[in-house]
Structure 1
């Protein structure tokens, strides 16, 4: 071998695991908040307003709920990607680009801990 690292050290993996677990916790809290926002069926006291305002308000509410549902779907995918990263740590494939087979830069993994592509592979896409 020519001094090229093939995988991260246990110490590095522990650091990544900590980063990922913190992100999962925060993402799950955000997801709960989003779900609470679109599952909240309580109306905001619009019963006594004029019909034109009520319909506008309901339309706006539907759009907000749809936006929150979309955000929740993205958040669920993010959590799933983070959990998959934890599995890659466990099975020894974490931090290895699935295209080039090279180690993904540590700085990239700190920012995007669920990354499966190196910068080179991502740019080539």
Structure 2
């Protein structure tokens, strides 16, 4: 029989859980800032500028809002992926590569705690 571990210890899982919860909290703060930025409809005081400058300013504002919306969508996906990682911890499948079935390296999970692929499987993609 092989000595390959098929899942992480409870102690390891607790460490990963703390890392994930911290990332979720930070990511949620970032998401809230992004949402506030693109929902901000406050007038920037361009009423006294020439029409050409006002149109540049409005165009720039629209582009900034669109960029913030895109960032917010990515942030929401990241938070969802982190929450899914917490679910995998609860159901005992966390840290197992979905392609190879082997444990994902701890170093990778510390950096990318929502990873579902080992480096080996990721390289084959």
> Which TM class, normalised by the smaller chain length?
over 0.9
Distance of 2:24 and 2:119 partners within structure 1:
23
Q: Which runs of 5+ in 1 are unaligned?
A: none
Deviation at 1:48, TM superposition (A): 1.1
After TM superposition, the score normalised by the length of structure 1 is 0.99
Q: CA deviation at 1:16?
A: 0.1
1:46-105 deviation line (CA, Å, top 9, x unaligned): 111110000000000000000000000000000000000000000000000000000000
Q: Deviations over 1:14-68 (max 9, x none)?
A: 0000000000000000000000000000011111111000000000000000000
The corresponding residue for 2:124 is: 124
CA distance in 2: counterparts of 1:72 and 1:43, whole angstroms:
22
Structure 2: tracts of 5 or more residues without a match: none
TM-score in terms of structure 2 length: 0.99
User: Partners in 2 of 1:22 and 1:71 — Cα distance?
Assistant: 20
Question: What displacement does 1:3 show?
Answer: 1.4
Task: Count how many residue pairs are aligned between Structure 1 and Structure 2.
Answer: 125
Q: What pairs up with 1:65-104 in 2 under 5 angstroms? A: 65-104=65-104
Q: 1:111: which partner in 2?
A: 111
Alignment of 1:1-125 (within 5 A): 1-125=1-125
